[in-house]
Amino acid sequence: MISRKRMLPLATFLASAVSIEATAQTCAQPFTWTPGSGSPGGVPSINDTTCGHETSIVSTCQSNFGAPGQAYISLIHVAAAGTFTSIFFSGGSGYTLASYLVPQASGCGNFACTTTGDATTPMLHSDIPPGDYYLIVTGADFDAVGACGTFSMTGNGYLPIALQSFSID
């Protein structure tokens, strides 16, 4: 049996070990995501929460949308040939999911959006020119201040195949 004197340092150590693993997905430290399983390093989906992540974004898409809640930020690379056709979203209770795609060169926040998405509208690869983007998942502008919750985003990837050789016998 462990004495109370020994349990406190052990509990402190375990709490600090857990906090090292858990990092917020913010504009300064976004999660790098390659949508779709067909690309090298591709991850088909992300299941996480907007709670506990970026809190400084108050509006998006050049003030066309408010962002009242906390936001999950990922950085995605879109190749010219493409490694996915769509990114689908679903959100949990406590908020209404909204997602915004902002060119990385613009910065993370209230800049022109390339496209938007939500639980009923996926982001289509054909709407996204090649480049690097911040993908911002947050609450809708009509949600209560501080609204947040769980979400899932899935890139339906495919593996582009190039013809290497062709012959007729």
In this structure, is residue 58 part of a structural domain?
yes
Domain membership flag for residue 113:
yes
**Rounded Cα gap, residues 141 and 65, in angstroms:** 6
* Joined tokens for residue 132: 């690097």
Residue 143 placed within a domain: yes
Range of the domain at 43: 23-155
What is the domain count for the chain? 1
Global pTM value:
0.75
Answer whether residue 8 is part of any domain.
no
Assigned domain for 163 exists: no
165 inside domain = no
Handedness of CA 126, 115, 51, 96 (dihedral sign): negative
Residue 76 lies in a domain: yes
Q: Read off φ and ψ for residue 65, nearest 5 degrees.
A: -135, 140
**Pair type for strands 115-118 and 59-60:** unpaired
State the Cα–Cα distance between residues 114 and 103, nearest whole angstrom. Answer: 7
8 Å CB contact between 13 and 62: no
Distance, CA of 133 to CA of 153 (rounded, Å): 15
pLDDT in tens, the chain (169 residues): 444 444 444 333 333 332 223 467 888 999 988 776 555 556 678 899 999 999 988 888 888 888 778 999 999 888 776 667 888 999 988 899 999 999 999 888 788 888 888 889 998 887 788 889 999 999 998 998 889 999 999 888 654 444 455 557 6
**Does 167 reside within a domain?**
no
Q: Assign residue 125 the CATH number of its domain.
A: 2.60.120
